[in-house]
């Protein structure tokens, strides 16, 4: 029998269709409340324009699979972190040519120090594997990615930045 | 679905809408939305409005760069920063609405966040003056983003422990985003300040233009002082912010501007003419066609 959990696991991110919302760590809970399926999601960024789309995709997928009474709740806290991305998700990103995020771990309390140094982590080019890469911009086609370039093959590539 | 734009197709159904617009329910959050019992509702609404208006007006100003930035990567970066700020603004204006703030002029079907964004005049906005200033050249925009994001990150880091659960959640999330904004502005300040003769001249001029508006970010409003535990006294952030700015200036081989502070008063609705210009652009569609959905 297909469970609500199974159905939720098939719904992909509107901006990164190679990842499911579960891979991305956006789905925080799937549970049943008095016969109603409740899916709890959290936005990646405050301004994520895909949130409404995610909700509708989840509800539609659940209805199509017989879960007529489905509700999606959005929570803000705790704030989403790339550490919630699954191993499977990281692998799929890499396969799609997007460099996956490093682990950030728990954030220390107190003021956030500013570092003006170039990023310590050298990414490998997803095209040719060269380590001779550079950061072009910390912002890219979506809020969650940064733009890098390989100096060996000259191809630009995206990097899912830690948050 | 194969790509992000499939959501725009008609066959996708009426419920699905890509990106922001009006005319559909958008439950932003089910964090504990109860209002803390010990907090004065009007003060909480006023505070959420101050924080929300700062973010909304700067989001609108920053988005004016869209398609006009000096390079494609920068266009994308500024648009992303504007989007983060807009997201933060929506959550904060929604909170202000929950605490009772809503302009009576707004048509009743418009959600609180839209009512507050589109149906108030300049004197009802509670943002600091810095965010409403015209964009100027690219260096002006970077100088403002640097000063604003340094103060805002310090503030949001502290507000993540706010006694208001919604403000705390918005701040904890927003702080992560602001740290990227601050990084971006700081790196550009170094690149321009320590760059060519022309870029350096412009960066210095830009900081001189924006610096007079910095003091207003640290002046405590009576609302902030009354909301102990919920709000943070902005005066207490000054030394942390000064420390970060000095670090950036040292790396950029610049010195702190020595210009006199400008008049403040934005928190009480006293604004420069620039705010009315921003609002005219931002509000024209919603006011001309209040039934429009997009």
Give the start-to-end residue ranges of the domains of chain A.
Answer: 4-82, 97-101+121-163
Q: How far apart are CA B17 and CA B7, in angstroms?
A: 7
A48 CB neighbours in chain B (<8 A) are 87
Low-confidence ranges of chain B (pLDDT < 50): 1-27, 29
Token pair of A147 as six digits: 């733009």
Asked if A14's CB is within 8 angstroms of B4's CB, the reply is yes
Interface A-B: count of C-beta contacts within 8 A: 137
Mapping DSSP onto H, E and C, the string for chain A reads CCCHHHHHHHCECCCCCCCEHHHHCCEEEEEEECCEEEEEECCCCCCCCCHHHHHHHHHHHHHHCCCCCEEEEECCCCCCCHHHCCHHHHHHHHHCCEECCCCCCCCCCCCCCCCCCCCCCCCCCCCCCCCCEEEEECCCCCCCEEEEEECCCCCEEEEECCC
For residue B55, what is the domain's CATH number? 1.20.1260.10
Q: How far apart are CA B189 and CA B82, in angstroms?
A: 19
Look up the domain containing B120 and give its range: 38-257+270-288
Q: Say what the pLDDT of residue A127 is.
A: 86
- Give the number of other Cβ atoms within 10 Å of residue B250's Cβ: 12
Instruction: Confirm whether B2 is domain-assigned.
Output: no
Scored b (16 or more CB within 10 A) or e, A97-120 reads ebbbbbeeeeeeeeebebeeeeee
Task: Collapse the DSSP code of B231 into the 3-class scheme (helix H, G, I; strand E, B; otherwise coil) and give the result.
Answer: strand
Asked if A73's CB is within 8 angstroms of B77's CB, the reply is no
Q: How far apart are CA B18 and CA B294, in angstroms?
A: 9
Token pair of B110 as six digits: 């418009």
Would you give per-residue pLDDT tens digits along chain A (163 residues)? 899 999 999 999 998 999 999 999 999 999 999 999 999 999 999 988 888 899 999 999 999 999 999 999 999 889 999 999 999 999 999 999 999 998 888 877 789 999 998 777 788 898 898 999 998 888 988 888 999 999 999 999 999 998 9
Token pair of B35 as six digits: 């209002």
Among residues 19-38 of chain A, which lie with CB inside 8 Å of chain B?
none
Q: Which of B31, B80, B157 sits opposite A76 (nearest CB)?
A: B31
Q: Does A157 touch chain B (CB under 8 A)?
A: no
Structural domains in chain B (count):
1
Closest chain A C-alpha to B157 CA, distance in angstroms: 7
Q: Are A13 and A54 in contact (CB under 8 A)?
A: yes
Beta-bridged to residue B75, according to DSSP, are: none
Task: Collapse the DSSP code of B228 into the 3-class scheme (helix H, G, I; strand E, B; otherwise coil) and give the result.
Answer: strand
Q: Which residues contact B248 (CB under 8 A, 6 or more apart)?
A: A114, A116, B146, B186, B189, B190
Q: How far apart are CA A6 and CA A71, in angstroms?
A: 16
Q: Say what the pLDDT of residue A117 is.
A: 86
Q: Say what the pLDDT of residue B20 is.
A: 44
Q: Say what the pLDDT of residue B10 is.
A: 40
Asked if B240's CB is within 8 angstroms of A138's CB, the reply is no
- Which chain B residue's Cα is nearest to A14? B4
Token pair of B7 as six digits: 């959501």
Closest chain A C-alpha to B27 CA, distance in angstroms: 7
Instruction: Confirm whether B198 is domain-assigned.
Output: yes
Instruction: Confirm whether B7 is domain-assigned.
Output: no
Asked if A111's CB is within 8 angstroms of B157's CB, the reply is yes
Specify the pTM: 0.90
Token pair of B122 as six digits: 């300049």
Which residue from B143, B220, B132 is spatially nearest to B182, judged by alpha carbons?
A: B143
Which residue from B278, B240, B289, B211 is spatially nearest to B54, judged by alpha carbons?
A: B278
Token pair of A149 as six digits: 């370039």
What is the separation, in whole angstroms, between the first and last Cα of chain B?
22
Q: Say what the pLDDT of residue A122 is.
A: 81
Q: pLDDT tens, B129-180?
A: 999 999 999 999 999 999 999 999 999 999 999 999 999 999 999 999 999 9
Q: How far apart are CA A135 and CA A133, in angstroms?
A: 7
Mutation site, B153, B162, B173, interface A, largest A CB count within 10 A: B173
- Which chain A residue's Cα is nearest to B13? A56
- Quote the CATH superfamily of domain A4-82: Fe-S cluster assembly (FSCA) (3.30.300.130)
Asked if B81's CB is within 8 angstroms of A139's CB, the reply is yes
Q: Are B87 and B151 in contact (CB under 8 A)?
A: no
Predicted ipTM?
0.90
Q: Say what the pLDDT of residue B178 is.
A: 97
Which residue from A18, A13, A19, A41 is spatially nearest to A86, judged by alpha carbons?
A: A19
Instruction: Confirm whether B221 is domain-assigned.
Output: yes
Interhelix angle for B72-98 vs B41-63, to 10°? 160
Q: pLDDT tens, B123-133?
A: 999 999 999 99
Burial of B83 per CB tally in 10 Å (0-12, 13-18, 19+): buried
Q: Does A143 touch chain B (CB under 8 A)?
A: yes
């Amino acid at each position: 029998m297909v469970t609500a959990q199974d159905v939720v696991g098939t719904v992909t991110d509107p901006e990164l269709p190679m990842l499911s919302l579960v891979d991305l760590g956006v789905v925080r809970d799937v549970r049943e409340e008095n016969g109603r399926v409740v899916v709890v999601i959290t936005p990646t960024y405050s301004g994520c324009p895909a949130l409404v789309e995610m909700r509708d995709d989840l509800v539609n997928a659940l209805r199509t699979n017989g879960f007529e009474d489905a509700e999606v709740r959005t929570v803000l806290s705790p704030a989403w972190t790339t550490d919630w991305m699954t191993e499977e998700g990281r692998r799929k990103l890499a396969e799609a040519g997007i460099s996956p995020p490093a682990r950030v771990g728990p954030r220390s309390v107190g003021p956030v120090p500013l570092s003006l140094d170039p990023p310590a982590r050298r990414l490998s080019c997803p095209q040719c594997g060269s380590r001779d890469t550079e950061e072009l911009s910390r912002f890219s086609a979506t809020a969650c990615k940064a733009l890098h370039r390989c100096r060996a093959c000259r191809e630009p590539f995206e990097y899912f930045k830690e948050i | 679905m194969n790509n992000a734009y499939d959501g725009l197709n008609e066959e996708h159904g009426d419920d699905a809408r890509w990106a922001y617009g009006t005319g559909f329910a958008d439950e932003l959050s089910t964090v504990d939305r109860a209002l803390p019992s010990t907090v004065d509702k009007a003060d909480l609404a006023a505070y959420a409005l101050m924080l929300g208006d700062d973010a909304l007006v700067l989001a609108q100003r920053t988005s004016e760069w869209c398609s006009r930035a000096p390079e494609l990567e920068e266009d994308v970066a500024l648009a992303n920063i504007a989007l983060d700020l807009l997201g933060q603004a929506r959550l904060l204006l929604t909170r202000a609405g929950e605490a009772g703030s809503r302009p009576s002029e707004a048509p009743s079907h418009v959600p609180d966040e839209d009512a507050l964004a589109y149906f108030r005049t300049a004197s009802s906005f509670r943002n600091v003056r810095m965010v409403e200033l015209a964009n100027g050249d690219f260096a002006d925009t970077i100088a403002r983003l640097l000063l604003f994001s340094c103060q805002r990150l310090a503030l949001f880091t502290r507000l993540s422990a706010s006694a208001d659960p919604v403000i705390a959640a918005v701040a904890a999330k927003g702080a992560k985003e602001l740290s990227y904004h601050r990084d971006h502005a700081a790196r550009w300040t170094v690149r321009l300040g320590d760059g060519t003769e022309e870029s350096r001249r412009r960066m210095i001029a830009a900081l001189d233009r924006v610096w007079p508006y910095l003091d207003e970010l640290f002046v405590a409003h009576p609302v902030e002082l009354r909301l102990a535990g919920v709000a943070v006294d902005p005066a207490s952030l000054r030394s942390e912010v000064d420390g970060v700015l000095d670090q950036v200036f040292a790396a950029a081989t610049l010195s702190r501007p020595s210009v006199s502070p400008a008049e403040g008063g934005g928190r009480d609705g006293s604004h420069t003419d620039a705010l009315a210009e921003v609002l005219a652009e931002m509000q024209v569609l919603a006011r001309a066609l209040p039934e429009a959905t997009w």
